[in-house]
Amino acid sequence: MDFRISKKLLFVCFFLCAALFVSAQPNWQPDDSKGFTAHDPVMIQQDSTFYLFVTGGGMAKSTDLENWTRIKPVPSRLEWVTDDIIPGYRGGYWAPDIQFYDGKYYLYYSPSAFAKNTSAIGVMTNTTLDQDSPDYKWEDHGMIVQSVPGRDFWNAIDANVYFERGWGGRGGTGWLSFGSFWGGIKLVKLDSTMTALAEPQEWYTIAKQERTFGMPDTDPGDGTIEAPFIYRRHQYYYLFVSVGYCCRGLESTYETIVGRSRDIRGPYFDKEGVPMYAGGGTYVAGPNEDYAGIGHCAVYDFDGKTWFVAHGYDKKDRGRSKLVVKEITWDRAEWPTVVFEEPEDEKVNPNEEIKE
């Protein structure tokens, strides 16, 4: 994303029109006729149903990861967000993260202002995601961490939480990764409630990109990195992040890259051994014949397969942001590859006679 324009350029229109459009038409939904419209998607499975959460508070559900039905959104008016925290706040939030821990669903989210790191990360919980259940109710626990322009050289947005399970599945440690542009991706330890920072505080910088020297601290700069997601496979923690620019439609350059570490605190290295704190990262997904850019990913294991969940800017639909769900395969060295189908006109029929 380009903070010199906005955190999410795509959502400038969303927030400017929200009061005039959405409030007057509460049943308004994006046109999904050419693919499911979504931005910053994350998901989780409860029983046989997959639940999708996106920027703006939207929710959808599916039983097959292909056909999605929009359902009532998560409450997006946050009472704890005042003008002292985010001047000019008009409701809503960006980049949710959904996790399940100790009998509860935790939804982490980021209210933010445009063009600056006036941002915060909060969390709400629910005991079920089934909206037909009498127990369905979101309880907002408020702010976990805040970034202030001129004070913090990082941005409290794009949260992802990884729970380290304790012995026998009891207890554990939560780690909150977040960040975009500025000084890169941060990792901080949570306390046992998973709704506040642990004390004494424990912070790490786990990834960043080169930034032009001399830019003011209040400027996001050009070190394009954001949207961390930590995934555990065997002995490695994998750190997926996005680089390049999102939210420019057909001009988007969004890419997903990855590094890995044996310690969640890092350092994370790419396939060539370059640390991610020094600009490293192995390519996972990006611009192709279908999408101008692909990023802000999440990675999950469902039904014995590993899935890559992201948004891509659809070349066949004027660069609109669409949900991308693809399988990940792993090579012998345990590095991931996202499986994109071959174009129909390039597929080879193995039974077809090859002519010289």
Compute φ and ψ for 344, nearest 5 degrees.
-55, -40
Q: Bridge partners of 145?
A: 121
Of the candidates 53, 131, 123, 67, which has an alpha carbon nearest to the alpha carbon of residue 95?
A: 53
341: how many CB neighbours lie within 10 A of its CB? Answer: 9
Starting at the edge strand found earlier in the chain, the sheet holding 160-165 runs 160-165, 172-178, 185-189, 203-207
Give the three-state DSSP class for 208.
Answer: coil
C-alpha to C-alpha distance for 104 and 281, rounded to whole angstroms: 33
Do residues 59 and 51 touch, judged by C-beta distance below 8 A?
A: yes
- Neighbouring C-beta atoms of residue 321, cutoff 10 Å: 30
Looking at the DSSP bridge assignments, the partners of residue 181 are: none
Question: Among residues 2, 40, 255, 270, which one is catalytic?
Answer: 40
Q: Is 97 a catalytic residue?
A: no
Catalytic residue, chosen from 2, 97, 158, 226, is 226
**Torsion angles phi and psi, residue 282, rounded to 5:** -95, 135
User: Which secondary structure element, helix H or strand E, spans residue 12, and what is its range?
Assistant: helix 12-17
Residue 123's DSSP bridge partners are 108
The residue type at 38: A
Residues 6+ apart with CB under 8 A from 157: 7, 94, 95, 110, 112, 117, 119, 121, 147, 178, 179, 180, 226
DSSP-based three-state secondary structure for 20:
helix
Question: Three-state SS across 154-198?
Answer: CCCCCCEEEEEECHHHCCEEEEEEECECCCCEEEEEECCCCCCEC
**What is d(CA 134, CA 128) in angstroms, rounded to the nearest whole number?**
9
- Annotation says 199 is catalytic: no
Question: In 3-state terms, what secondary structure has residue 10?
Answer: helix
Contact by Cβ (8 Å): 288, 299:
no
Residues serving a catalytic function are 40, 226
